[in-house]
Amino acid sequence: MAEASAAPPSIETLISRLEEITLTMETPETGLEGSIALYEEGLSIAEQCKKRLQEAKKKIEVINSSAQKDKPAPDRVQDLFTPGS
């Protein structure tokens, strides 16, 4: 019985594969057809990386937004450090 869904590769794994593709495409032995296939794979991987980075950015924005709500108001911050307040 096959697994229903495997975990997607990490972004580090995807970037590593892009580096491998680049190195392979730079060798003359790869040939035109091989280079085209690798180029297509590279574009697909780059798109996956882009989506992952966009998702990460959204998560960071949510975290930052939550952190901003928990901060004291700017005028109140000054009061915390003013003697006698």
pLDDT digits (tens, 9 = 90+) for 10-51: 999 999 999 999 999 999 999 999 999 999 999 999 999 999
Name the DSSP letter for residue 83.
Answer: T
**Side chain identity at residue 81, one-letter code:** F
Residue 56, pLDDT > 60, answer: yes
Two tokens, residue 19: 């580096």
State the CB neighbour count (10 A cutoff) for residue 40: 11
Higher pLDDT, 13 or 76: 13
> Helices marked H in 1-85 — which ranges?
11-25, 31-70, 74-81
Two tokens, residue 49: 């990386």
Contact indicator for 22, 64 with CB cutoff of 8 Å: no
Name the DSSP letter for residue 82.
Answer: S
